[in-house]
Structure formats: structure tokens, C-alpha cells
């Protein structure tokens, strides 16, 4: 199991974030989106290698819902900065 996958799973378990079964069927990249669904946080099964892919996902699937972005390579939480960038807001 990759270090990224282990880090993501450990973080989710420690913070009561649901891990969908689809997460285990995919290769894991550094960027992760967690979104609120029915008042519970849920990991998005697909992870992302590029910031542009993260922003595209947010623009298409996270309208009017709470979400969080993480970089598990640098172990930081991120937020959107403008239309095409993200920035670090804290370590995780």
C-alpha cells in the first residue's frame, strides 16, 4: 500500500470521514477532495495529480456544497485562490 493511500485513510479514520469503496479501486494521487454529504464528510473516491483537475472537479461537482481540499504529499489543507489556483492554509 502506498504511503499516500495510508496517510489519506488514516486521516479519514481519525476525523470520521467516510471512505467510499471506490477509493480502493483507484491509484492514489496527492490531491484529495472531501465534501459534505447529508451532514457528514465524505472522501471523493478519485484523487488528483494536477491542481487544474481539482479545480475542474470543484467547479463541476461542488457547487453549493461544503468541500475541503488536501495535498497529502505536503500534508497541508488547501483553499481556492482565485479561479485557477489553490494555496495552503494549514498543515494536517
pTM above 0.85, yes or no: yes
Residues 54-81: pLDDT tens digits? 999 999 999 899 999 999 999 999 998 8
Q: Please tell me the predicted confidence (pLDDT) of residue 1.
A: 53
Residues 17-30: pLDDT tens digits? 999 999 988 889 99
pLDDT band at 82 (very low <50, low <70, confident <90, very high): confident
Separation of alpha carbons 34 and 45, rounded Å: 9
Domain ranges of the chain: 3-91
Amino acid at each position: 500500500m502506498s504511503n499516500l493511500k495510508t496517510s489519506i485513510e488514516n486521516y479519514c479514520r481519525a476525523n470520521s470521514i467516510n471512505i467510499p469503496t471506490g477509493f480502493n479501486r483507484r491509484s492514489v494521487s496527492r490531491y484529495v477532495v472531501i465534501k459534505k454529504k447529508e451532514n457528514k464528510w465524505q472522501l471523493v473516491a478519485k484523487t488528483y495529480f494536477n491542481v487544474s483537475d481539482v479545480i475542474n472537479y470543484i467547479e463541476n461537482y461542488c457547487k453549493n456544497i461544503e468541500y475541503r481540499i488536501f495535498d497529502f504529499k505536503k500534508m497541508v489543507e488547501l483553499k481556492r485562490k482565485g479561479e485557477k489556483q489553490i494555496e495552503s492554509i494549514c498543515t494536517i
